[in-house]
Amino acid sequence: MRRRAALGPLALLALLVGCDQPAELRDAANAAAAKVRLTDTLTVTVGGGAVVSTTPASGDAPAQVRIRAQSQDVRVDVVDRGCAPVTVAVTVTHLPTGIEGSWRALLDGLPLETVAARAAGGGVVDFQGDPHDRDRVPLGRERPFTPAEGSAPDVRRFWVTTDRGRQAVAADEAPPVARPALAGACVTPDAPEAGRLGAAPLVARFRLRRPPRSGGFRFAVWGNTAGMTAARDALIASVNAAAVDFAVITGDLTASGRPDDLRAAVAQLDAGLAVPWYATVGDRDVVSQAVGTVVAELGRTTFAFDVGDLRLIVLDSADKALSPDGHTQLRAWLSDGPLWWGGTPAPPVRLVLTHVPPFDPFGTRANGFNQRLEAGRFIAALKRAQVPYLLTSQLAVFETQRQAGVTVVHAGGGGAPMERDAAHHWLQVDVAEGCLAADDPPAADAPCGGCQAGQACTAEGCAPCVTLTKVEFSP
Amino acid sequence: MRGLLTLLLLGPGLVGPAAAQPGAPPPTVAEAQADGFQLRPPDQGAGSLLAGGLALGPGLVLHGLGHYYAGDHATAKVLFAAELVSVGLLTGALLANNLGDGRGELGGLSRGLTHAGVVLFAGSWGADVLGAFKGSTALELDSSRVRGNRFGLAYRYTDDPVTDFRHHLVFRLDLNAGWFFLRPLVDLEGSARLRQLQAEIGARPLRGDDPHERLELGVRLRRVENQSHGFSTVGLMGYSGYKVDLGRLVEGLRHLYAFGRVGYGWDGYQFAATPDSVPALFSDTALGDTYLLLETGLGFNLGQRTHLTLSALSDPTKDVPPFAGGTGGLVELGLVHRQSDSLDIEFLGTMGDGFALLLGLGYGL
Q: Where are the beta strands (DSSP E) in A326-445?
A: 349-354, 389-392, 398-403, 406-411, 425-431
ipTM score here?
0.85
Q: Are residues A74 and A174 in the same domain?
A: yes
Which of A180, A209, A238 is the last residue in one of the domains? Answer: A209
Q: Are residues A253 and A334 in the same domain?
A: yes
Residue B1 clears pLDDT 60, i.e. is over it? no
Which of A209, A226, A260 is the last residue in one of the domains? Answer: A209
- Inspect the interface and report whether the beta carbons of B286 and A404 lie closer than 8 Å: yes
More confident of the two residues B68 and A71: A71
Which of A189, A209, A229 is the last residue in one of the domains? Answer: A209
pLDDT value, residue A441: 63
Which long-range contacts does A191-200 make (Cβ < 8 Å, 24+ apart)?
Answer: A196/A111, A197/A107, A197/A109, A197/A110, A197/A111, A197/A137, A198/A167, A200/A107, A200/A108, A200/A109, A200/A137
Chain A residue nearest residue B99, CA to CA: A419
Structural domain containing residue A175: 23-209
Domain presence at residue A36: yes
pLDDT value, residue B98: 73
Q: Are residues A295 and A332 in the same domain?
A: yes
Domain presence at residue A223: yes
Q: Is B211 in contact with B220 (CB distance < 8 Å)?
A: no
Domain limits of chain B? 49-134, 150-364
Q: Looking at the DSSP assignment, which residues form a beta bridge with residue A407?
A: A389, A402
Question: Is B30 exposed, middle or buried (CB count within 10 Å of its CB: 0-12, 13-18, 19+)?
Answer: exposed
| Three-class DSSP category at A285 | helix
Q: Are residues A183 and A242 in the same domain?
A: no
**In chain A, how many domains are there?**
2
Quote the CA–CA distance of B350 and A147 in Å, as a whole number. Answer: 56
Indicate the residue of B104, B122, B224 with minimum beta-carbon distance to A361: B104
pLDDT value, residue A13: 41
- Assigned CATH topology for domain B150-364: Porin (2.40.160)
Q: Which of A315, A312, A291, A313 is nearest to A301 (CA)?
A: A315
Q: Are residues A202 and A309 in the same domain?
A: no
Q: Are residues A247 and A201 in the same domain?
A: no
Quote the CA–CA distance of A276 and A296 in Å, as a whole number. Answer: 16
Q: How far is A33 from chain B (nearest CA, A)?
A: 22
Q: Are residues A198 and A262 in the same domain?
A: no
Q: Is A3 in contact with B139 (CB distance < 8 Å)?
A: yes
If DSSP states are collapsed to H, E and C, what string results for B214-263?
Answer: EEEEEEEEEEEEECCCCEEEEEEEEEEEEEEEHHHCCHHHCCCEEEEEEE
Average confidence (pLDDT) over B198-210: 90
CB-hemisphere CA count at 13 Å for A232? 24
Q: Are residues A178 and A304 in the same domain?
A: no
Other beta carbons within 10 Å of B207: 15
| Percent of chain B with pLDDT strictly greater than 70 | 89
Residue A375 belongs to a domain with what CATH number?
Answer: 3.60.21.10
**Lowest mean pLDDT across A189-203, A365-379, B3-17, B161-175:** B3-17
- The interface residues of chain B toward chain A in range 345-364, judged by CB-CB distance below 8 A, are 353
Q: How far is A401 from chain B (nearest CA, A)?
A: 9
Average confidence (pLDDT) over B290-308: 90
Interface probe with B: pick from A228, A365, A377, most Cβ of B within 10 Å: A365
Indicate the residue of A370, A379, A403 with minimum beta-carbon distance to B328: A370
Indicate the residue of A8, A377, A379 with minimum beta-carbon distance to B129: A8
B-chain CB neighbours of A329 within 8 Å are none
Average confidence (pLDDT) over B249-277: 89
A7 inside 8 A of chain B by CB: yes
User: What is the full per-residue pLDDT of chain A (475 aa) written as tens digits?
Assistant: 333 333 333 334 444 444 444 678 899 999 999 999 999 999 999 999 999 999 999 888 899 999 999 999 999 999 999 888 899 999 999 999 889 999 999 989 887 777 777 777 776 666 667 889 988 989 889 999 889 888 888 999 999 999 887 778 888 877 776 666 665 556 665 666 556 677 789 999 999 999 887 888 999 999 999 999 999 999 999 999 999 999 999 999 999 999 999 999 999 999 999 999 999 999 999 987 777 789 999 999 999 999 999 999 999 999 999 999 999 999 999 998 999 999 888 999 999 999 999 999 988 888 999 999 999 999 999 999 999 999 999 999 999 999 999 999 999 999 999 988 789 999 999 999 888 876 666 666 666 777 776 788 777 778 889 999 999 999 8
pLDDT value, residue B238: 98
Phi–psi pair at A380, nearest 5 degrees? -60, -40
| Percent of chain B with pLDDT strictly greater than 90 | 47
B-chain CB neighbours of A330 within 8 Å are none
- The interface residues of chain A toward chain B in range 396-455, judged by CB-CB distance below 8 A, are 396, 401, 403-405, 417-420
Q: Are residues A224 and A256 in the same domain?
A: yes
- Inspect the interface and report whether the beta carbons of B326 and A18 lie closer than 8 Å: yes
More confident of the two residues B201 and B76: B201
A1 inside 8 A of chain B by CB: yes
A-chain CB neighbours of B310 within 8 Å are 7, 9, 12
Q: How far is A351 from chain B (nearest CA, A)?
A: 19
pLDDT value, residue A392: 98
A-chain CB neighbours of B286 within 8 Å are 383, 403-405
Q: Are residues A178 and A313 in the same domain?
A: no
Q: Is B51 in contact with B67 (CB distance < 8 Å)?
A: yes
- For residues B162-177, one letter each, b for 16 or more C-beta atoms within 10 angstroms of the residue's C-beta and e for the rest, the string is bbebeebebebebebe
**Chains A, B: CB pairs < 8 Å:** 191
A-chain CB neighbours of B125 within 8 Å are 8, 11
If DSSP states are collapsed to H, E and C, what string results for A31-93?
Answer: HHHHEEEEECCEEEEEECEEEEEEECCECCECEEEEEEECCCEEEEEEEECCCCCEEEEEEEE
pLDDT value, residue B71: 82
Amino acid at A291: V
- The interface residues of chain A toward chain B in range 336-395, judged by CB-CB distance below 8 A, are 359-367, 369-377, 379-381, 383-384, 395
B36 inside 8 A of chain A by CB: no
Q: Are residues A322 and A463 in the same domain?
A: yes
pLDDT value, residue B4: 52
- The interface residues of chain B toward chain A in range 77-116, judged by CB-CB distance below 8 A, are 100-108, 110-111
pLDDT value, residue B304: 84
Domain presence at residue A177: yes
Q: Are residues A110 and A54 in the same domain?
A: yes
Phi–psi pair at B31, nearest 5 degrees? -65, -40
- The interface residues of chain B toward chain A in range 222-261, judged by CB-CB distance below 8 A, are 224, 226, 229-231, 233
B-chain CB neighbours of A319 within 8 Å are 324-325
Domain presence at residue A7: no
Indicate the residue of B110, B289, B324 with minimum beta-carbon distance to A321: B324
String of DSSP letters for B58-99: GGGTSTTHHHHHTT-HHHHHHHHHHHHHHHHHHHHHHHHHHH
Q: Which of B203, B280, B184, B199 is nearest to B237 (CA)?
A: B199
Indicate the residue of A327, A362, A379 with minimum beta-carbon distance to B104: A362
Quote the CA–CA distance of A285 and B174 in Å, as a whole number. Answer: 46
